[in-house]
Chain A
Amino acid sequence: MRDIAIKADKLTKKFDDFVAVDAITFDVHQGEIFGFVGANGAGKTTAMRILCGLSKPTSGSATVAGFDVYKETERIKRNIGYMSQKFSLYDDLTVMENITFYAGIYGLSDKEIKARGESLLSQLGISHEAKTFVSSLPLGWKQKLAFSVAVIHEPKIVFLDEPTGGVDPVTRRQFWDLIYEAADRGITVFVTTHYMDEAEYCNRLTVMVDGRIDALDTPANLKKQFSVDSMDKVFYQLARAAKRSGD
């Protein structure tokens, strides 16, 4: 049995009468790629924000990297990386300046920043673009760079909130190569998405409907469970029962 990276038990978040996250329970293992799939408004982002220490849960319990989401948010922050659907690099900074900045706020030394920055750029094949302003990079490159920056401090867990919005499946596939490399290094990946091709790439995934977790297993098992041949169909069967409309 591998170590548990994230553990949630009946985790709930209410905004007044609205139950955004409804008593979700799940475990994520160390080094696993764990997917959170659901329509817009299903509660994925809210759940992720709680786990990142950005939002306090209403009830239930959860630990991230062994730290409590109620009391130890500062220690959680030191052990995670984060990349959001909104764009997370600064357009008016160059590639290397972005890397230096994000590595700097995680307290890496100048030597580490230089070494990791250079290996990161050569891994992405954009060493010659170090002094290019991020604004002039294509979207696919920006996303890959944003991911690499989110794990530059080698966190235990990286949270990705719909990281590949707006790019084609081929670019998404390339992005996932980076995710697999990170997982191979032992980084746990927690990713939300509403692209079903991405759902297939996860080790295990949950489908969230109306704030609840209705299914949790490997993509293969889920397909077997619902007797269908694609994740798309699994998702439709579950989402059909949804009462909330997307935002």
Chain B
Amino acid sequence: MKQLLAFVRKEFYHVFRDKKTLLMLFGVPIAQIVLFGFTLTNEIKNSRIVVADYAHDYASQEIIRKIEASRYFEVVKSNMSHDEIEAAFKTGTIKMAVIFPANFYNDLSHLNKAQIQVIADASDPNTATTLTSYLNNIITDYQTQKAQQTKVPYLITPEVKMLYNPELLGAPNFVPGVMALVLMLICAMMTSISIVKEKELGTMEILLVSPIRPFLLIISKVIPYLLVSIINLITILVLSVVLLHLEIKGSLLLLFLESTLFIISSLALGLLISVRAESQMAAMMTSQMSLMLPTMLLTGFMFPIENMPLPMRALSYAFPSHYYYIIVKAVMLEGLGFMAIWKETLILAFITTVLVIINLRSFKIRLA
């Protein structure tokens, strides 16, 4: 116990005396949250659009009112000709044009279907896609509203292809991803460096010659980062709530317990790299290539896993972050309880256990 205390104290000195480490430990999570949070929300609000209403009837008026009421659009009402609309697009003053043809309500009430023409500035495809999907939502909304009043449902088809674009829906989906990313970054990368550093310095030999047990050595390397990671977890959650107005719907305790499990698995991964790597540089590169990138690309928070080819999908199931991402989304965004995520928790716990066992084994082999 005395040994452990002496060791842990030393590790804390290492962590808290190195300004670069500190910046990385506490700056990165804040930067990530702010970066992801704000770049993703501000862009699409209050886009200028032109609405040309050739129908000027009951139905078109009602839909236009709805569009105007939306905070996404700033509506300019004007019956522009096609040439005029094109000119407006070219000068960049508008992002989208919505055109109601004549006889809109007539078509709708007699044929039960009508069309709206939507033209979007696709030079920025993401914005175009998002704007059209916003508009689609408004129209679908109108349809459902009418469907309750009439027997035969109206069918309004806007002439754009609806593309659901999960990345651009806003910050909430990113927070779980950022949590996985940041925790992985800190735990794996920093621990992987910390043991290799002792090898490079030559202090590792002294430690191996001393009567301290390998298990103790590993535990005391891990404790400071475990603590830092938990502080980071709190920072991320507070920032998400305060800055991004995200609501944590599920149990906070459950979220913390699951996060701790994930943190331990990441720490184990970092140690695994560290035991094998020969230099700090190698450890850094390995953790970046084999942990960071897969976490970013394969957990599904940037690119949907469903669209990936089978080998990639299979690979993503091997990473702890895959399960953690699902768990956090379920608990934090959907407010689900343990019963909804027990399977993922079990897999995560299994991976963690395997990693810890491999670690203890390989560290002993090193000693022989």
Neighbouring B residues of A92 by C-beta, 8 Å: 13-14, 17-18
In the assembled complex, the CB of B130 is this many whole angstroms from the nearest CB of chain A, namely 49
In the complex, whether A93 has a CB less than 8 A from a CB of chain B is yes
Distance in angstroms from A182 CB to nearest chain B CB is 17
Chain A residues whose CB sits within 8 angstroms of the CB of B17 once the complex forms: 92
Could you say which of A77, A89, A93 contacts B210, with CB atoms under 8 Å apart? A77
Contact A78 B211 (CB under 8 A): yes
A166 at interface (Cβ–Cβ under 8 A)?
A: no
What residue in chain B is nearest A100 (Cβ atoms)?
B6
Interface residues of B in 1-46 (CB under 8 A from A): 2-3, 5-7, 9-10, 13-14, 17-18
Asked if B208 and A54 make an inter-chain contact with CB atoms under 8 angstroms apart, the answer reads yes
Cβ–Cβ contact B205 & A84, under 8 A: yes
Asked whether, in the complex, the Cβ of B7 is within 8 Å of the Cβ of A101, the reply is yes
Interface flags for A105-144 (1: CB within 8 Å of B; 0: not) read 1110100000000000000000000000000000000000
Contacting residues, chain A, for B368 (C-beta < 8 A): 55-56
Contact status B18-A86, CB under 8 Å:
no
B210 touches A105 (CB 8 A): yes
A78-B213 Cα distance, complex, nearest whole Å: 11
A9 at the interface (CB under 8 A from B): no
B203 x A90 contact (CB < 8 A): yes
Q: How far is the CA of A55 from the CA of B366 in the complex (A)?
A: 9
A37 on the interface (CB 8 Å rule)?
A: no
* Contact between chains at B7 and A105 (CB < 8 Å): yes
Bitwise, B339-366 to A at CB < 8 A (1) or not (0) is 0000000000000000000000000000
Known: A82-B209, A105-B207, A105-B212. A90 touches B10 (CB 8 A): yes
The reply to whether B210 and A88 contact each other, CB–CB distance below 8 Å, is no
In the complex, the answer to whether B209 meets A54 with C-beta atoms within 8 Å is: yes
Is A53 in contact with chain B by the CB < 8 A criterion? yes
Q: How far is the CA of A104 from the CA of B211 in the complex (A)?
A: 11
Asked if A82 and B205 sit within 8 Å, CB to CB, the answer is yes
In the complex, whether B125 has a CB less than 8 A from a CB of chain A is no
Distance of A107 Cα from B206 Cα, bound (Å): 15
Interface size on A, residues (CB 8 A): 32
**B367 in the interface, Cβ–Cβ < 8 Å?**
yes
- Residue from B2, B10, B209 within 8 A of A97 (CB atoms): B10
- B206:A84 contact, CB within 8 angstroms: yes
Q: A92-B13, A93-B13, A97-B10 are in contact. Are A53 and B5 (CB under 8 A)?
A: no
Measured CA separation A27–B346 after assembly (Å): 57
What chain A residues lie within 8 Å of B9 (beta carbons)?
A: 100-101, 104
Give complex CA distance A159, B34 in Å: 54
A101–B17 Cα distance when bound, in Å, is 16
Contact of A26 with B by CB under 8 A:
no
Partner of B5, one of A74, A90, A104, A150: A104
Does A87 interact with chain B (Cβ within 8 Å)?
yes
Q: Is the CB of B201 within 8 A of A104?
A: no
Distance (Å) between the CB of B41 and the closest chain A CB? 41
Q: Considering the chains assembled together, what is the distance between the CA atoms of A107 and B2 in angstroms? A: 6
Q: What A residues does B14 contact at CB under 8 A? A: 90, 92
B6 to chain A, nearest CB (A): 2
B10 nearest in chain A by CB position? A101
What is the 8 Å Cβ interface bit string for chain A, positions 58-90, against chain B (1 contact, 0 not)? 000000000000000010011010111111111
Whether the pair A82, B13 counts as a contact (CB closer than 8 A) is no
Q: Are B205 and A54 in contact (CB under 8 A)?
A: yes
Of the residues A53, A86, A89, contact of B209 by C-beta under 8 Å = A53
Determine if A105 and B6 form an interchain contact, defined as CB atoms under 8 angstroms apart: yes
Does the CB pair A88–B6 fall under 8 Å?
no
Specify which chain A residues have a CB less than 8 angstroms from the CB of B211 in the assembled complex: 74, 77-78, 105-107
- Closest Cβ of chain B: how far from A165's Cβ, in Å? 11
Chain B residues whose C-beta falls within 8 Å of the C-beta of A53 in the assembled complex: 209
- Told that A83-B206, A87-B202 touch, could you supply 16 new A-B pairs with CB distance under 8 A? A77-B211, A82-B206, A86-B205, A87-B201, A88-B202, A89-B203, A92-B14, A92-B18, A101-B7, A102-B210, A104-B6, A104-B7, A105-B3, A105-B7, A106-B211, A107-B211
Query: Which 3 A-B pairs rank lowest in CB-CB distance, beginning with the nearest?
Result: A104-B6, A86-B202, A82-B209
A-B contact pairs, 15 of them (CB 8 A): A52-B209, A54-B208, A86-B205, A87-B201, A87-B202, A87-B203, A88-B205, A92-B13, A92-B18, A93-B10, A102-B206, A105-B207, A107-B3, A109-B2, A150-B206
